[in-house]
């Protein structure tokens, strides 16, 4: 039975009631725009932002078509939910306001904090921090 991946999955909040308003870890995902190299080779877009906190990753498979254009079959789909998802059209100000602004305020109040950028080479870490 296939699940409809066009509708984000709603998972129940299983955290204790006293901690629901006090989260210590937030995950912000920024989907970067395709770079010129990817555009030059007509790279397929594999990430679709579904909402402010979810995205869909499709693993495209090219199916040869002897009568013309090859068909792209998006067989493998994975749905993920995060604290925040920022699409490729949003500016740096939004990334800062969703992520670093609150952390910076906490540091100024004496709390310890870390911003951890994770991703493979070319994933957009430097783009996100220095664009």
Give tens-digit pLDDT for 27-57: 999 888 888 888 888 777 888 999 999 999 9
Count Cβ neighbours within 10 Å for each residue of 96-120 and write b for 16 or more, e otherwise: eebbbeeeeeeeeeeeeeeeeeeee
- With 70 as the cut, is the pLDDT of residue 1 above it? no
C-alpha span between 111 and 108 (Å, rounded): 7
All domains of the chain in start order, with CATH: 17-130 (3.40.850.10)
Q: What pTM does this model have? A: 0.65
- With 90 as the cut, is the pLDDT of residue 82 above it? yes
List all residues 6 or more positions away from 81 whose beta carbon is below 8 Å from its beta carbon: 8, 9, 11, 53, 54
Cβ-in-10-Å burial (0-12, 13-18, 19+) of 30 comes to buried
DSSP state of 13: -
């Amino acid at each position: 039975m296939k699940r409809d991946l066009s509708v984000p999955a709603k998972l129940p909040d299983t955290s204790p009631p006293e901690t629901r308003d006090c989260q210590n870890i937030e995950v912000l995902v920024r989907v970067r725009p395709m770079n010129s190299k990817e555009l030059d080779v007509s790279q397929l877009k594999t990430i679709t932002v579904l909402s402010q906190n979810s995205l869909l990753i499709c693993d495209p498979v090219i199916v040869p078509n002897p009568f013309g254009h090859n068909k792209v079959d998006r067989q493998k789909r994975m749905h993920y939910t995060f604290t925040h998802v920022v699409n490729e059209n949003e500016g740096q100000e939004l990334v800062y306001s969703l992520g670093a602004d609150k952390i910076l305020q906490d540091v100024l109040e004496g709390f310890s904090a870390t911003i951890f950028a994770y991703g493979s080479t070319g994933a957009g870490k430097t783009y996100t921090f220095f664009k």
